[in-house]
Amino acid sequence: MITSHDVARLAGVSQPTVSRALRDDPKVSEATKQRVREAALALGYSPSAIGRALSVGRSTRVGLVVTDLENQFYAHVIAPMHHELERLGHELVLITESSESGPVAEHVIGHGLCGVVLATTTVDSILPSRLHDRGVPFVYFNRTAPNVPADSVTVDPEQGIRELLADVVAKGHSRVGAIFGPRNTSTGELREQTVRAVLDEHGITLAHRDVRHGPFDFRTGHEGMHALAGRADPPTLVLCGNDVVALGALNAAAELGVAVPGDVSIAGFDDLPTSSWALVRLSTVAYDLDAMSRAAARMIVARADKPEAEPVTEVFPTRYVPRTTIGTARS
Amino acid sequence: MITSHDVARLAGVSQPTVSRALRDDPKVSEATKQRVREAALALGYSPSAIGRALSVGRSTRVGLVVTDLENQFYAHVIAPMHHELERLGHELVLITESSESGPVAEHVIGHGLCGVVLATTTVDSILPSRLHDRGVPFVYFNRTAPNVPADSVTVDPEQGIRELLADVVAKGHSRVGAIFGPRNTSTGELREQTVRAVLDEHGITLAHRDVRHGPFDFRTGHEGMHALAGRADPPTLVLCGNDVVALGALNAAAELGVAVPGDVSIAGFDDLPTSSWALVRLSTVAYDLDAMSRAAARMIVARADKPEAEPVTEVFPTRYVPRTTIGTARS
DNA sequence: CTGAAAGCGCTTACAG
DNA sequence: CTGAAAGCGCTTACAG
């Protein structure tokens, strides 16, 4: 490996001068900088980020903690988050909660990340408090945990759900079912409560047998729809916890031969790219996931810079995107 | 930050002893190990990976170089690769070629990765030779570059394509079109050549006007299908460079109101999870992408261990998975 | 404007 | 079995 000492030797300066010159320190003369840059180029030298990290006591690597990497939702957060981090001179390292290499908190601390973004927090996860105790900067992305305050980027589902349900009611649905997300996530819980409250304003109550819960994945929607639509007397509409769940439901409907929206209407939440496919055309609730992901990136680097600043929180509005999976209620 | 020195003080031993004890060095007595572990636990200490990396001169971080993070194909390589790396005690850091922070090679070198896997190599990319020159271990994933030899994990498309085309011919297609991948990728080129060669055995030639090329993305398939099927005299079947392209084509067909496989048949390559959706049911060529991704993970850590070993290469076989997008040719 | 010195948190010979 | 010493590649006061 070639180091700043090699460059120093070639340029005929001291090693610290190489360090300063390459970081464009104003205290170094232009002539020297020039000489150093040439030497560095000649040797193909690039400074070791790890030497630097050890020296300054902080790295430029942020971790993204996710449980389900396979889930397409996360592809759409990883991409923009990575780009924004790169723009800020940081790297993205992936961490999953199911880490076999021991507790995530230890992993995070040991691996010298300057901060982490938590994308799959549950209400009962211990990670936030562990990170807090160890002084590791972090931000909540999308989901939050109630007990440990920290920066967060979230979405406010209300407006989108109101618009969606207004359409649902206008189309004559009164027998509505739902496949909600997990109860132990802030997003799952908030969306469910909002749906129930707004439905209530319209005089509609969800029948217990028309409701399912499960992880925000394809399978939940798939199995949920089989359960709900496979019955003699199914609801005319099924609200899904998110688009991936709705995609599962849509496919289950196709398997069952139940027409959407002829026999049953379906709604999602997230408006992923797949939802606008001609083959899908899912009516859903949208928000700017791309901007959210980038905001989280900016937030974590800012936080790493000023660990003591007041927690900030950014919330993104939602809107209804009607497509073709919600039709007039069959009578 | 709490360091091994703090633990040493509390345990009443020297700092190197802490280091050895925690790594379970057999030369340390059980009694001492016990004491050190307790002290470490009490202080909530976890060893700094970056201190360690600097000391041993090698990190446990492997980079994955990808251009299009949004592409669902990569979600299915990232997940298994990450899991396998984690199992091996390594981390995955994401790198995109469009790195604004200067040339990727410099980035890779500077950031102290122990190796990188190249997932979006083109025939003309300079990265392989740069990495080679700088002595950075790397492996080709899926695609290779011809000039720089290195470890690789690839797929052999022949068997799958043979089976696919046998079915195509049996169903009476003779007017076949294609939306191939980019000419400057080994995968794009190899699949195209194989298709042409096997088709030739069946006495079929692709008409120039029935062929399109483009990046392996949704848009390529989408625009390609609009161009091919929007004409007066379209081919009866369109072979796509991969599933994501085929998904674009399938959706374009839906938009155009052309029935699949009634009006036109469509084939893919990869067999992504989406392809088996009831809404999709894409006939395609399959291989074990999961195993491939894990193999690449194992390969890069092995390579980082023995930089001088002979390059190894692992190739995965393919098979045809008939579903419903290929039908009898209309006459 | 530049250099010598010390230090970041580890590991690894080398002694004992 | 354990410790003192040196070093990994940087950065950052401190002198000059």
**pLDDT of A101 over the 50 cut:** no
As to burial, measured by CB atoms within 10 angstroms (0-12 exposed, 13-18 middle, 19+ buried), residue B30 is: exposed
Nearest Cα residue in chain B from A278: B251
Residues of B within 8 A of A97 (CB-CB) are none
**pLDDT of A137 over the 60 cut:** yes
Distance B202 CA to D5 C1' (A): 75
Residues of A within 8 A of B101 (CB-CB) are 86, 89
When pLDDT is averaged across residues A307-324 and rounded to a whole number, the result is 95
Are B91 and A111 a contacting pair at CB < 8 A? yes
When pLDDT is averaged across residues A137-154 and rounded to a whole number, the result is 95
User: Which of B48, B89, B112 is closest, CB to CB, to A101?
Assistant: B89
- Tokens representing residue B135 in the block: 């002595």
Helix (H, G, I), strand (E, B) or coil at B188: helix
d(CA A250, CA A265) in angstroms, rounded, equals: 9
Q: How many C-alpha atoms does A191 have within 13 Å on its Cβ side? A: 31
Q: What percent of chain B has pLDDT over 70?
A: 98
C-alpha distance from residue B229 to each of B176, B224, B318 (Å)? 12, 8, 28
**pLDDT of B101 over the 60 cut:** no
Q: Mean pLDDT check: name the lowest of A226-240, B54-68, B102-116.
A: B102-116
pLDDT by residue (tens digit) across B294-326? 999 999 999 998 888 899 999 999 999 999 999
- The shortest C-alpha distance from A168 to chain B (Å) reads 24
Residues A221, A247: contact at Cβ < 8 Å? yes
Residues of A within 8 A of B252 (CB-CB) are 278
pLDDT by residue (tens digit) across B1-25? 889 999 999 999 999 999 999 999 9
pLDDT by residue (tens digit) across B172-221? 999 999 999 999 999 999 999 999 999 999 999 999 999 999 999 999 99
Distance A113 CA to D2 C1' (A): 32
- 3-state secondary structure string across B49-80: HHHHHHHHCCCCEEEEEECCCCCHHHHHHHHH
Are A86 and B96 a contacting pair at CB < 8 A? yes
What's the mean per-residue pLDDT of chain B?
A: 93
Distance A59 CA to C7 C1' (A): 17
- The shortest C-alpha distance from B202 to chain A (Å) reads 33
Residues of A within 8 A of B97 (CB-CB) are none
Does A331 or B194 have the greater pLDDT score?
B194
Residues of B within 8 A of A133 (CB-CB) are 44
Segment of A41-45, B132-136, B264-268 carrying the highest mean pLDDT: B264-268
User: Which of A47, A50, A247 is closest, CB to CB, to B54?
Assistant: A50
Confidence class for position B102, pLDDT limits 50, 70, 90:
low
**pLDDT of A186 over the 90 cut:** yes
AA letter at A59: S
Q: Is the CB of B186 under 7 A from strand C?
A: no
pLDDT of residue A10: 93
d(CA A232, CA A115) in angstroms, rounded, equals: 52
Are A49 and B83 a contacting pair at CB < 8 A? no
What's the mean per-residue pLDDT of chain A?
A: 93
pLDDT of residue B255: 96
**pLDDT of B154 over the 80 cut:** yes
Q: Is the CB of B47 under 7 A from strand C?
A: yes
Mutate to test the interface with B, among A277, A280, A290 (most CBs of B within 10 A): A277
When pLDDT is averaged across residues A94-103 and rounded to a whole number, the result is 66
- 3-state secondary structure string across A251-309: HHHHHHCCCCCCCCEEECCECCHHHHCCCCCCEEEECCHHHHHHHHHHHHHHHHHCCCC
Domains and CATH numbers, chain B: 1-34 (no CATH), 158-286 (3.40.50.2300)
- The shortest C-alpha distance from B326 to chain A (Å) reads 17
Are B278 and A70 a contacting pair at CB < 8 A? no
Q: What are the beta bridge partners of residue A152?
A: A140, A313
Mutate to test the interface with B, among A61, A69, A272 (most CBs of B within 10 A): A69
Mutate to test the interface with A, among B24, B54, B70, B76 (most CBs of A within 10 A): B70
User: Which of A76, A100, A112 is closest, CB to CB, to B49?
Assistant: A112
pLDDT by residue (tens digit) across A35-84? 999 999 999 898 998 899 999 988 889 999 998 899 999 999 999 999 99
DSSP assignments along A29-91, one per residue: -HHHHHHHHHHHHHHT----HHHHHHHHT--SEEEEEES-TTSHHHHHHHHHHHHHHHHTT-E
- The shortest C-alpha distance from A194 to chain B (Å) reads 30
**pLDDT of A100 over the 60 cut:** no
pLDDT of residue A57: 86
Are A78 and B93 a contacting pair at CB < 8 A? no
pTM of the model: 0.94
Residues B254, B239: contact at Cβ < 8 Å? no
**pLDDT of B139 over the 90 cut:** yes
When pLDDT is averaged across residues B113-134 and rounded to a whole number, the result is 89
Helix (H, G, I), strand (E, B) or coil at B7: helix
Residues of B within 8 A of A90 (CB-CB) are none
Distance B11 CA to D1 C1' (A): 16
pLDDT by residue (tens digit) across A240-275? 999 999 999 999 999 999 999 999 999 999 999 999
Residues B283, B266: contact at Cβ < 8 Å? yes
Q: Is the CB of B219 under 7 A from strand C?
A: no
- The shortest C-alpha distance from B243 to chain A (Å) reads 14
Q: Please state whether beta strands A138-141 and A151-156 pair in parallel, antiparallel, or not at all (unpaired).
A: parallel
d(CA A140, CA A146) in angstroms, rounded, equals: 11
Are B82 and A69 a contacting pair at CB < 8 A? yes
Residues B100-125 as b/e (b if ≥16 CB within 10 A, e otherwise) read ebeebbbbbbbbbbbbbbbbbbbbeb
Q: Is the CB of A20 under 7 A from strand C?
A: yes
- The shortest C-alpha distance from A254 to chain B (Å) reads 6
**pLDDT of B100 over the 60 cut:** no
Q: What percent of chain A has pLDDT over 70?
A: 98
Confidence class for position A135, pLDDT limits 50, 70, 90:
confident
Nearest Cα residue in chain A from B252: A278
pLDDT of residue B112: 81
Are B54 and A57 a contacting pair at CB < 8 A? no
Q: What are the beta bridge partners of residue B211?
A: B178
When pLDDT is averaged across residues B24-30 and rounded to a whole number, the result is 90
Residue A120 is classified by DSSP as: S
Does A111 or A50 have the greater pLDDT score?
A50
